[in-house]
């Protein structure tokens, strides 16, 4: 029977309890409670929770409950020994009022004053409406838990973890969420409630914090801006948490501790990796302040100290632009030097691209390690390449010399392909840069002042060696340089001095080779000739000749108005031997005069020409002895083989005597078409090519004048024939031969003459002289023997009436016997032999085949 207990109204709509129908019986039924109780009717509630549960309506009819009904249900659950039936009936039913409407217990959360803030971060958790149920709802925590309501922090944190992760993945965690979450974190820090590991990990690993770069990042990739970051921020793009009014606002700074606990970077010293990754230098380096630079250097210092590894390549690439202020303007770190006391021994700050200490202050040197890590050159030993590349920006000679001296000190060598230049000063602050190949260290003869830059005129010897090694400057002008110089002389029509010509050809002699031969032949179109003055002319190579025949030289020099014969120094120089110079001329295309002339000899009757014995013109032992002594003299220093060769050329001559001088005509054709002609009537002429000596018969009856005239012509012809390559000594030898001729080359007189001239016959020359005359004597003897043998043979033929052929055979036999020393040639022996043949009638032996 229903009474006045408050629970009656609560449960009436949610149970099937058989209440007595008061509407049917009327209120009077209430007067019979005692009697009804005696009849077994339940009067009053009397903690009849089991009875209520037993009479619950079917779950299909359970719907939203009032606050009192809900609390009564929880109270019933609290007093029941078994909650299965009520739990089963209400667990899945949306009867609990939450901030998101009525929800089933499994969807609902009971907020806790200590940690309930966590569930308020997102509008995703149906929180039981405590305003609706009142604070009594908190008394039924266990009962709610039995129904499936989340009532514990652990479960709530687990649910929060899922929502937090999902929201972060969608970048949907907004300003209010973040600030609410941070506030909750602060509140929880004062309690015993701690986030579970999976939530902690999620907070640190998912991207939920928005930065001023417009993206979301994990806390560890974010920075909370503070005063320390102001100096670096203008030259970086850093992930500062967006504290603009459009997002978190300045209120985010109230949660520094909470953010730091989540690995957000607050301190400048901890943000070096962010700076390394986010460096972003402005296009205009003048916008980079002193403060900015030092802030960057501090970051680099922190990086090096804590990471103990090289700066990352992306960072180095970003700072490789021109932003460091130097004495040479803004430059990249790789193009900068840091000046300190080590550099002052060699250079001054303005000598190179040193970081501007006046701008940055002396403090900049304390960051040498950091600057070096950014590729600034700090070590004085490693700045050569950079200073070498900076040379061309200077024009002050003293500065350039200091840089060259520094480069020399550290053995700098130019890289292949490098195009360093040489400074040629014109005063202290003017000059020009030229290529090393346009320079030469030395020009001892002073020939190349206009063609090459001679460095010895400007720099000391130490630097000259450096230029040779490091910049590959040649020490002396090359063959090509000399050829170019000669070409300039050719084109300009310059008249050369004796010094200039000697210097040029001395170089050629010293560097003569097959390559030199070819180069000169191709490049030299004009050659030097004697001009009759102190100046030397250059004439077309085709019209220049070697005076290998001095008589022809004298002849054409008199007949030509232009110089014809190649120049050589007079007297001959040890460094420029005449014979070698003439040989070089020949190899590069100059013709001998003897080979270039056309010769016409006047015809004579056969009676006018007669082969003579050389001894008849005093070509004998005395002459050879005198010549050998002279050729071995100190002034000539001719080698043994050359001396003996000269003597053989004399003795090999065929002497032709004439009654009258032979008229010889010579013609010489020039490239212009001109033909020079000349006739001579020499008393004595040595033709070297034909190995003949033409001489007019000497008339001794003409007195001393004829003799001395003949002696003079003879001595000149012999001297010129022997020494045509050594013209300086021709006159000296001619005088000796002339005197010897007058003395008829008497051997005793010649020996005395040689002593007065300090000449001697060396052992090897004496042996040569003897052997020559033994051979000549034998040859003469054989000739004489043949003549006498033939005479004897003819006598024998006449007396015996034998044929002439037999006489010839006899002659040959006799001569053959003489040559082999079987018979002594004398008139007596021939007569004896002839008589023997006559008396014995012995047939003369035939000459064996």
- Per DSSP, the residues of 411-430 read T--PPTT----EEEESSSS-
Q: Is pLDDT at 161 greater than 80 in this prediction?
A: yes
Residue 584 and residue 728 in one domain: no
Contacts 24+ apart (CB under 8 A), 328-331: 328/352, 328/353, 328/390, 328/393, 330/285, 330/286
In a domain, 42, yes or no: no
Q: Identify the pLDDT of residue 261.
A: 94
**CA 163 – CA 810 distance, rounded (Å):** 149
Decide the pairing of beta strands 96-98 and 537-540.
Answer: unpaired
**SS3 category, 383:** coil
Q: Is pLDDT at 64 greater than 80 in this prediction?
A: no
Give the residue among 533, 570, 532, 562 at the shortest CA–CA distance from 545.
562
Residue finishing a domain among 382, 400, 422: 382
Burial profile 562-596: b = 16 or more Cβ within 10 angstroms, e = fewer? ebbbbbbbeebeeebbbebbbebbeebebbbbbeb
Stronger pLDDT, 813 or 492, i.e. the higher one: 492
What band does 797 get if pLDDT is binned at 50, 70 and 90?
very low
What band does 694 get if pLDDT is binned at 50, 70 and 90?
confident
In a domain, 18, yes or no: no
Q: Identify the pLDDT of residue 594.
A: 84
In a domain, 663, yes or no: yes
Q: Identify the pLDDT of residue 63.
A: 60
Residue 543 and residue 616 in one domain: no
Residue 494 and residue 368 in one domain: no
What band does 13 get if pLDDT is binned at 50, 70 and 90?
very low
Q: Is pLDDT at 828 greater than 60 in this prediction?
A: no
**CA 498 – CA 506 distance, rounded (Å):** 12
Give the residue among 832, 787, 781, 790 at the shortest CA–CA distance from 810.
790
Stronger pLDDT, 813 or 271, i.e. the higher one: 271
Residue finishing a domain among 572, 595, 618: 595
Distance of CA 120 to the CA centre of its chain: 71
Residue 326 and residue 377 in one domain: yes
In a domain, 174, yes or no: no
Could you report the per-residue pLDDT of 137-148, keeping only the tens digit for each? 988 888 888 889
Could you report the per-residue pLDDT of 702-733, keeping only the tens digit for each? 778 788 888 888 888 888 888 877 877 888 88
In a domain, 14, yes or no: no
**CA 523 – CA 540 distance, rounded (Å):** 12
Determine the average pLDDT of the residues in 396-412. Answer: 94
Whether cis (ω within 30° of 0) applies to the bond prior to 571 is yes
Residue 682 and residue 751 in one domain: yes
For residue 46, what are the contacts with CB-CB under 8 A and spacing of at least 6? Answer: none
Stronger pLDDT, 60 or 341, i.e. the higher one: 341
Residue 511 and residue 563 in one domain: yes
**CA 678 – CA 681 distance, rounded (Å):** 10
Could you report the per-residue pLDDT of 530-571, keeping only the tens digit for each? 877 778 999 999 999 998 887 788 888 877 778 889 998 888
In a domain, 63, yes or no: no
Could you report the per-residue pLDDT of 311-356, keeping only the tens digit for each? 999 999 999 999 999 988 999 999 999 999 999 999 999 999 999 9
In a domain, 704, yes or no: yes
Instruction: Please report the sign of the dihedral spanned by the C-alpha atoms of residue 99, residue 100, residue 101, residue 107.
Output: negative
Could you report the per-residue pLDDT of 473-487, keeping only the tens digit for each? 999 999 999 999 999
**Number of Cα atoms under 13 Å in the Cβ half of residue 841:** 1
Residue 719 and residue 791 in one domain: no
- For residue 206, how many other CB atoms are within 10 A of its CB? 19
**CA 704 – CA 694 distance, rounded (Å):** 22
Q: Identify the pLDDT of residue 48.
A: 57
Residue 577 and residue 630 in one domain: no
What band does 656 get if pLDDT is binned at 50, 70 and 90?
confident
Residue 591 and residue 601 in one domain: no
Domain enclosing residue 540, as ranges = 479-595
Residue finishing a domain among 704, 735, 761: 761
**CA 814 – CA 830 distance, rounded (Å):** 9
Q: Of all helices (H) and strands (E), which one includes residue 329?
A: strand 329-331
Give the residue among 648, 640, 627 at the shortest CA–CA distance from 736.
627
Phi, psi of 672 (to 5 degrees): -75, -10
Q: Identify the pLDDT of residue 212.
A: 94
**What are the CA-CA distances from residue 269 to residues 134, 228, 318, 782 (Å)?**
52, 9, 21, 120
Residue 793 and residue 730 in one domain: no
In a domain, 660, yes or no: yes
Give the count of domains, the chain.
4
Residue 785 and residue 753 in one domain: no
Helices (H), 227-383: 256-261, 272-278, 290-307, 313-318, 341-344, 357-360, 368-373
User: Mean pLDDT, the chain, as a whole number?
Assistant: 83
């Amino acid at each position: 029977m229903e009474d006045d207990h408050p629970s009656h109204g609560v449960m009436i709509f949610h149970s099937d309890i058989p209440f007595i129908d008061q509407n049917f019986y009327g209120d009077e039924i209430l007067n019979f409670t005692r009697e009804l109780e005696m009849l077994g009717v339940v009067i009053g509630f009397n903690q009849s929770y089991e009875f209520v549960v037993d009479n619950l309506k079917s779950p299909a009819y359970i719907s939203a409950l009032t606050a009192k009904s809900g609390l009564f249900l929880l109270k019933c659950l609290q007093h029941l020994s078994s909650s299965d039936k009520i739990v089963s009936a209400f667990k899945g039913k949306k009867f609990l009022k939450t901030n998101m409407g009525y929800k089933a217990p499994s969807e609902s959360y009971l907020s806790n004053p200590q940690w309930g803030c966590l569930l308020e971060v997102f509008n995703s958790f149906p929180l039981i409406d405590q305003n609706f149920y009142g604070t009594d709802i908190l008394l039924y925590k266990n009962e709610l838990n039995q129904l499936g309501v989340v009532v514990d922090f652990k479960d709530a944190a687990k649910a929060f973890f899922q929502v937090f992760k999902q929201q972060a993945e969608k970048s949907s965690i907004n300003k209010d969420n973040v600030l609410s979450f941070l506030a909750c974190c602060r509140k929880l820090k004062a309690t015993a409630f701690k986030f579970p590991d999976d939530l902690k990990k999620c907070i640190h690993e998912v991207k939920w914090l928005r930065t001023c770069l417009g993206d979301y990042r994990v806390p560890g990739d974010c920075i909370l801006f503070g005063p320390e970051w102001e100096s670096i921020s203008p030259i970086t793009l850093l992930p500062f948490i967006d504290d603009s009014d459009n997002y978190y606002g300045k209120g985010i700074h109230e949660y520094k501790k909470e953010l730091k606990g989540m690995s957000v970077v607050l301190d400048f010293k901890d943000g070096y990796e962010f700076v390394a990754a986010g460096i972003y230098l402005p296009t205009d380096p003048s916008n980079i302040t002193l403060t900015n630079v030092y802030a960057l250097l501090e970051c680099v210092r922190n990086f090096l100290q804590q990471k103990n590894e090289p700066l990352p390549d992306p960072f180095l690439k970003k700072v490789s632009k021109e932003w460091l202020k130097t004495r040479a303007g803004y430059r990249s770190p790789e193009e900068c030097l840091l000046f300190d006391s080590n550099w002052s021994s060699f250079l001054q700050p303005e000598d190179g691209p040193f970081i501007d200490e006046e701008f940055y202050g002396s403090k900049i040197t304390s960051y040498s390690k950091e600057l070096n890590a950014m590729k600034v050159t700090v070590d004085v030993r490693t700045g050569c390449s950079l200073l070498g590349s900076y040379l061309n920006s200077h024009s002050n000679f003293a500065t350039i010399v200091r840089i060259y001296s520094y480069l020399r000190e550290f053995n700098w060598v130019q890289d292949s392909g490098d195009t360093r230049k040489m400074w040629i000063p014109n005063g202290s602050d003017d000059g020009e840069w030229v290529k090393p190949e346009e320079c030469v260290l030395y020009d001892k003869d002073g020939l190349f002042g206009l063609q090459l830059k001679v460095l010895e005129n400007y720099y000391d010897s130490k630097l000259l060696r450096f230029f040779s090694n490091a910049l590959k400057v040649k020490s002396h002008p090359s063959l090509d340089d000399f050829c170019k110089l000669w070409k300039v002389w050719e084109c300009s029509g310059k008249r050369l001095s004796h010094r200039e010509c000697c210097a040029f050809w001395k170089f050629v002699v010293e560097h003569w080779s097959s390559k030199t031969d070819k180069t000169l032949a191709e490049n030299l179109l004009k050659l030097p000739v004697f001009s009759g003055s102190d100046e030397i002319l250059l004439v077309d190579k085709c019209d220049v000749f070697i005076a290998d025949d001095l008589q022809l030289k004298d002849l054409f020099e008199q007949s030509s108005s232009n110089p014809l014969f190649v120049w050589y120094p007079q007297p001959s120089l040890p460094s420029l031997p005449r014979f070698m110079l003439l040989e070089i001329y020949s190899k590069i295309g100059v013709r001998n005069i003897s080979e270039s002339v056309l010769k016409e000899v006047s015809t004579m009757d056969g009676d006018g020409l007669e082969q003579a014995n050389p001894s008849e013109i005093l070509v004998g032992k005395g002459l050879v002895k005198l010549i050998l002594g002279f050729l071995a003299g100190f002034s000539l220093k001719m080698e043994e083989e050359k001396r003996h060769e000269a003597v053989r050329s004399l003795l090999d001559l065929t002497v032709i005597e004439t009654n009258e001088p032979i008229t010889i005509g010579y013609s010489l054709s020039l490239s212009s078409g001109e033909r020079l002609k000349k006739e001579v009537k020499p008393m004595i002429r040595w033709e070297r090519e034909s190995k003949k000596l033409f001489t007019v018969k000497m008339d001794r009856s003409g007195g001393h004048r004829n003799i001395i005239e003949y002696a003079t012509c003879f001595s000149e012809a012999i001297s010129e024939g022997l020494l045509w390559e050594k013209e300086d000594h021709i006159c000296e030898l001619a005088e000796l031969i002339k005197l010897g001729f007058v003395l008829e080359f008497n051997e005793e007189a010649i020996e005395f003459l040689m002593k007065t001239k300090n000449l001697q016959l060396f052992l090897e020359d004496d042996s040569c002289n003897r052997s020559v005359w033994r051979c000549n004597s034998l040859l003469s003897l054989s000739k004489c023997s043949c003549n006498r043998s033939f005479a004897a043979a003819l006598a024998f033929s006449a007396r015996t009436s034998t044929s002439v052929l037999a006489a010839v055979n006899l002659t040959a036999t006799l001569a053959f016997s003489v040559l082999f020393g079987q018979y002594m040639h004398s008139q007596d022996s021939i007569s004896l032999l002839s008589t023997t043949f006559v008396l014995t009638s012995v047939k003369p032996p035939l000459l064996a085949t």
